Amino acid sequence: MRKILGFFIVVAVVILAVYHALIYYDNNFRYGRMRETPAVRPYEEPLLVKEAGLVPINGGEAIFRATAGTDIQSPFDLTQPAAIDRGKAVYLIYCAQCHGHNYDGKGTVGQSFAPLPTDLRSAKVQDSPAGVLFKNVSYGIPDGRQPPLHATITVDDRWRVVAYVKSLGTRE
């Protein structure tokens, strides 16, 4: 009987020792614990304020498509230096590969086109109303080869790239 009791006491001591060793290890753990990191609770956060115009509630692109290019006006002044600057960045990302660094259609991709992509400093482009260029860049040219970029470039950036193209002026 004593032997059995002694055995259980030893077992209990061993279990307690292991338990406390684990607790000690846990309390002195060096790394961050999942439960200590701040939880993201999306439904308790204030809603993000959306950029104006992000969600089209007044027709968006559909209105541009239905309106003649000559009747579409830019929402901002196309001669603003900030718009032209941003337009240049847009040009280098989305247009230069075809229209080229000299705007003559001899970009790395454009040079293989026959005929070449339209010279953006030609009188034809420079004399076109901004809204017409905006529509051509947005939806392509019917039966033409300009890619429609409305799904790739935001409305404002499309106006800015038009501002940049216009700022180039007609080639001498």
Could you tell me which of 161, 166, 170 has the C-alpha nearest to residue 93? 161
Amino acid of residue 101 = H
> Cβ of residue 122: shortest distance to ligand HEC, in angstroms?
8
CB nearer to ligand HEC: pick between 40 and 114: 114
Distance in Å, CB of 50 to ligand HEC, minimum: 25
Nearer to ligand HEC, 4 or 151 (CB): 151
Closer residue to ligand HEC in complex, CB, 62/93: 93
CB of 79 to ligand HEC, least distance (A): 17
Which residues would be at the binding site for ligand HEC (CB under 6 A)? 94-95, 97-99, 109, 113, 117-118, 120, 125, 128, 133, 136-137, 141, 144-147, 149, 161, 165
Backbone angles phi, psi at 104, to 5 degrees: -100, 5
CB of 80 or CB of 112, closer to ligand HEC: 112
Which residues, in sequence order, are CB contacts of 83 under 8 Å at separation 6+?
Answer: 76, 77, 159, 160, 163
Query: What b-and-e string marks burial along 36-68, b requiring 16 or more CB atoms within 10 Å of the CB?
Result: eeeeeeeeeeeeeeeeeeeeeeeeeeeebeeee
Shortest Å distance, C-beta 161 to ligand HEC: 5
Confirm if 131 and 125 have CB atoms less than 8 A apart: no
